[in-house]
């Protein structure tokens, strides 16, 4: 069974690209990092931009704000976090590493074009919204075996694959695209119109972070 997502107002701390952070995407809209915090790692107080975080593993963390207030977080793989720009320190309280995808929202990014064929309105059962504000809309796309979506549109968006899946995408111009993915894969897509069909025999899921 696919886990129901939980939105939390915090996420992993961002830091320079290196051994624990691999940059996956960098464009005018976002910088996307794959972040791994070793067991009991301590991340020093640092400034961060507005961030959407998709957790790929469970996480048990201590968060210390710039005001000295401390909070503990217990998160599950697949949970989604959002936080505005600010300053925080973090500590992994677990004996296991934490892995997450961090989507840093760049200030002054170009606006995405309007969408007419909204998947949330056309197929709400398989496209529930888990978070939305004036900058992003986060969709938890649910793909039962062999489900076919209606033709729909997206603005610029980042997609994080929570499970292995295999879809075919019929584009607005009629072109067919084969799209096999592994759990944890990350992709960037410019605005597009498409219809998807889930080719696998088991349920699949992904997170779509649409940029406004």
CATH number for region 7-105:
2.60.120.10
- CATH of the domain spanning 119-211, picked from 3.30.70.20, 2.60.120.10, 3.40.50.1100, 1.10.10.10: 2.60.120.10
Least confident of 18-27, 125-134, 176-185: 18-27
Phi, psi of 37 (to 5 degrees): -105, 120
Q: What is the structure's pLDDT at 24?
A: 96
pTM of the model: 0.89
pLDDT digits (tens, 9 = 90+) for 184-212: 999 999 999 999 999 999 999 999 999 99
Give the start-to-end residue ranges of the domains of the chain: 7-105, 119-211
CA pair distance 193, 208, nearest whole angstrom: 15
**pLDDT cut 90: percent of the chain above it:** 85
CA pair distance 39, 60, nearest whole angstrom: 10
Residue 132: how many CB atoms within 10 A of its CB? Answer: 15
Is a pLDDT exceeding 80 seen at residue 172?
Answer: yes
CA pair distance 160, 181, nearest whole angstrom: 10
pLDDT classification of 15: cutoffs 50, 70, 90? very low
CA pair distance 179, 187, nearest whole angstrom: 11
Residue 31: how many CB atoms within 10 A of its CB? Answer: 18
pLDDT classification of 1: cutoffs 50, 70, 90? very low
pLDDT classification of 12: cutoffs 50, 70, 90? low
Residue 133: how many CB atoms within 10 A of its CB? Answer: 12
Same topology, domains 7-105 and 119-211? Answer is yes
């Amino acid at each position: 069974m696919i886990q129901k997502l939980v939105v939390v107002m915090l996420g992993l701390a961002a830091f320079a690209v290196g051994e624990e952070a691999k940059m996956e995407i960098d464009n005018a809209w976002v910088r996307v990092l794959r972040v791994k915090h070793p067991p009991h790692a301590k991340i020093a107080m640092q400034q961060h931009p507005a961030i959407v975080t998709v957790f790929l593993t469970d996480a048990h963390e201590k968060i210390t704000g710039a005001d000295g207030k401390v909070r503990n977080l217990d998160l599950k793989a697949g949970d989604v976090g959002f936080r505005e720009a600010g300053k925080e320190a973090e500590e992994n309280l677990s004996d296991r590493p934490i892995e997450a995808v961090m989507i840093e929202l760049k200030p002054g990014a170009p606006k995405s074009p309007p969408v007419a064929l909204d998947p949330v309105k056309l197929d709400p059962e398989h496209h529930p919204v888990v978070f939305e504000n004036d900058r992003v809309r986060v969709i938890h796309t649910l793909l039962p075996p062999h489900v076919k979506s209606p033709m729909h549109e997206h603005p610029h968006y980042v997609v994080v694959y929570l499970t292995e899946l295999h879809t075919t995408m019929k584009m607005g111009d009629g072109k067919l695209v084969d799209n096999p993915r592994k759990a944890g894969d990350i992709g960037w897509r410019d605005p597009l119109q498409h219809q998807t069909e889930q080719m696998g025999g088991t349920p699949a899921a992904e997170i779509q972070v649409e940029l406004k």
